[in-house]
């Protein structure tokens, strides 16, 4: 069991962690730190802010992740995010996509720790909420055992106290973003070693974590865990987070309870926000590993698209329940 200073976070994932996904995850855990998708600083400044940044108060605590490398623009974007009510602003220094590289932000900034420090300082000077960094252990030909401590030393000297470290190197040339999530080997030991070298920093471990038990095993002396695709594809693990890491009472909700909450959420949202249709794909993993999970997924993905989101969820659940009842009545 960890203290209140412990951080358990759901990673910012492009095209996945929208407001409806966060709303679903908040139904499962009241304490997990949720993140927005990465939003480029220029988009924050010039784009549709309500569409890009809007969130429901029920999602709190929620952090805004920003991409960029211009200190002035990042500072303005951070101010806008803080005014929207986010609990934290996070600078992306970890994404390896070609589009991100061409814009000179994301993982390629691992090669420019002085610039990252300048960006951080400009952002933190502008807002009263924490500014944090999400990074890799290194990129390309860098030796992580040298690059990561240099990066942490330089950026923390500018005042940054919390880093989420994806424990893989990113190969910006030769590997796709998908391959960069699995091909470079994980080095949890290096991240733990950084905590020993920089005991005053709060270091959050990210990358490759599949179960909560694995997270407990790999945590060691670190200050938190960040889960990405494992939490998205098997979201029910989030129902154990508050008890396991924050000392809360055991969760008494069932998956069926969550379905009822989802239907109510969709009913109250669908008349004013057409993007709630994305909720169906965010909840496909709710019955992961359970009987009827495949039928649940199929009905959500292939069911009657003319139905409202709430009725679509209800129909998927009803089909799964019917199949379960038939299986009990006619056991093989």
Q: Which residue has the tokens 């695709």?
A: 229
Is residue 211 one of the residues assigned to a domain? yes
Picking from 219, 246, 273, the residue at the C-terminal end of a domain is 246
Is the pTM higher than 0.85? The answer reads yes
Average pLDDT of the segment spanning 15-33: 96
pLDDT band at 103 (very low <50, low <70, confident <90, very high): low
CA 6 to chain CA centroid, nearest Å = 16
**Whether the predicted pLDDT of 213 surpasses 90:** yes
Give the pLDDT confidence score for residue 17 in this predicted structure: 94
Whole-angstrom distance, CA of residue 31 vs CA of residue 195: 23
Could you tell me if 158 and 118 are in contact, meaning their C-beta atoms sit under 8 angstroms apart? yes
What percent of the chain is modeled with pLDDT above 90? 83
Could you tell me the residue range of the domain that residue 321 belongs to? 255-329
pLDDT band at 38 (very low <50, low <70, confident <90, very high): very high
89 & 226 share domain:
yes
Q: Choose from 30-44, 86-100, 176-190 the range with maximum mean pLDDT.
A: 30-44
Task: Please report which helix (H) or strand (E) contains residue 101, including its range.
Answer: helix 98-102
Tens digits of per-residue pLDDT, 313-328? 999 999 998 888 887 7
**Whether the predicted pLDDT of 184 surpasses 60:** yes
Whole-angstrom distance, CA of residue 187 vs CA of residue 14: 24
pLDDT band at 231 (very low <50, low <70, confident <90, very high): very high
Could you tell me if 285 and 232 are in contact, meaning their C-beta atoms sit under 8 angstroms apart? yes
* Cα–Cα distance list, 187 to 92, 148, 165, 194, 306 (Å): 20, 12, 10, 11, 47
122 & 187 share domain:
yes
Q: How many domains does the chain have?
A: 2
* Cα–Cα distance list, 237 to 86, 210, 221, 228 (Å): 25, 10, 22, 12
Is residue 205 one of the residues assigned to a domain? yes
Q: 148 or 305: whose pLDDT is higher?
A: 148
148 & 276 share domain:
no
Q: Residue 38 pairs with which residues in a beta bridge?
A: 65
Could you tell me if 162 and 114 are in contact, meaning their C-beta atoms sit under 8 angstroms apart? no
Q: How far apart are the first and last CA of the chain?
A: 43
193 & 63 share domain:
yes
225 & 277 share domain:
no
Whole-angstrom distance, CA of residue 306 vs CA of residue 37: 28
Q: Strand runs (DSSP E) across 47-114, as ranges?
A: 62-67, 88-93
230 & 269 share domain:
no
Tens digits of per-residue pLDDT, 107-147? 999 999 999 999 999 999 999 999 999 999 999 999 999 99
Average pLDDT of the segment spanning 221-229: 96
**Whether the predicted pLDDT of 92 surpasses 80:** yes
Q: Catalytic site residues?
A: 95
Picking from 246, 278, 299, the residue at the C-terminal end of a domain is 246
264 & 241 share domain:
no
The domain that holds 308 is classified in CATH as 1.20.120
pLDDT band at 59 (very low <50, low <70, confident <90, very high): very high
**Whether the predicted pLDDT of 4 surpasses 60:** no
Give the pLDDT confidence score for residue 99 in this predicted structure: 66
DSSP state of 207: S
Q: 322 or 159: whose pLDDT is higher?
A: 159
Whole-angstrom distance, CA of residue 86 vs CA of residue 78: 10
Q: Which residues contact 118 (CB under 8 A, 6 or more apart)?
A: 71, 158
Is residue 2 one of the residues assigned to a domain? no
Nearest to 292 by CA among 313, 332, 320, 315: 320
**Whether the predicted pLDDT of 196 surpasses 50:** yes
282 & 229 share domain:
no
Average pLDDT, the chain: 93
Give the pLDDT confidence score for residue 175 in this predicted structure: 79
26 & 109 share domain:
yes
Give the pLDDT confidence score for residue 1 in this predicted structure: 45
177 & 285 share domain:
no
Upstream peptide bond of 261 is cis (omega within 30 degrees of 0): no
158 & 29 share domain:
yes
Q: Which residues contact 160 (CB under 8 A, 6 or more apart)?
A: 117, 120, 124, 131, 132, 133
Give the pLDDT confidence score for residue 128 in this predicted structure: 97
CA atoms lying within 13 Å on the CB side of residue 136: 29
205 & 63 share domain:
yes
Whole-angstrom distance, CA of residue 243 vs CA of residue 29: 9
Whole-angstrom distance, CA of residue 271 vs CA of residue 177: 36
Do you know the residue count of the chain? 332
Tens digits of per-residue pLDDT, 160-173? 999 999 999 999 88
Tens digits of per-residue pLDDT, 292-308? 999 999 999 998 888 99
Q: For residue 231, which phi and psi values (nearest 5 degrees)?
A: -70, -30
**Whether the predicted pLDDT of 2 surpasses 80:** no
């Amino acid at each position: 069991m960890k203290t209140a200073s412990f951080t358990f976070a759901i990673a910012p994932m492009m095209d996945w962690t929208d407001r409806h996904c966060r709303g679903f995850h908040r139904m499962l855990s009241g304490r997990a730190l949720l993140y927005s998708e990465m939003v480029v600083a220029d988009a924050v400044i010039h784009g549709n802010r309500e569409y890009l940044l809007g969130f429901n108060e029920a999602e709190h605590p929620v952090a805004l992740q920003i991409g960029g490398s211009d200190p002035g623009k990042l500072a303005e974007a951070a101010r806008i995010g803080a005014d929207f009510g986010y609990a934290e602003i996070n600078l992306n220094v970890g994404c390896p996509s070609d589009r991100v590289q061409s814009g000179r932000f994301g993982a390629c900034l691992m090669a420019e720790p002085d610039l990252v420090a300048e960006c951080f300082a400009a952002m933190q000077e502008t807002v009263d909420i924490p500014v944090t960094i999400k990074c890799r252990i290194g990129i390309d030909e860098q030796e992580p055992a040298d690059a990561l401590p240099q990066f942490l030393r330089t950026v923390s000297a500018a005042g940054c106290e919390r880093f989420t470290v994806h424990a893989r190197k990113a190969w910006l040339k030769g590997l796709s973003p998908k391959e960069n999530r699995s091909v470079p080997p994980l080095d949890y030991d290096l991240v733990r070693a950084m905590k020993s070298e920089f005991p005053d920093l709060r270091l959050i471990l990210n990358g490759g974590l599949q179960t909560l038990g694995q997270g407990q095993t790999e945590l060691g002396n670190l200050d938190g865990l960040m889960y990405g695709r494992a939490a998205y594809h098997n979201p029910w693990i989030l129902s154990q987070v508050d008890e396991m890491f924050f000392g809360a009472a055991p969760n008494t909700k069932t998956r069926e309870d969550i379905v009822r909450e989802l239907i109510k959420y969709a009913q109250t949202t669908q008349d004013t926000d057409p993007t709630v249709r994305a909720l169906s794909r965010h909840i496909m993993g709710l019955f992961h590993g359970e009987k009827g999970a495949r039928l649940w997924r199929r009905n959500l993905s292939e069911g009657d698209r003319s139905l409202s989101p709430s009725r679509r969820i209800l129909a998927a659940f009803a089909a799964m329940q019917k199949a379960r009842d038939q299986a009990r009545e006619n056991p093989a």
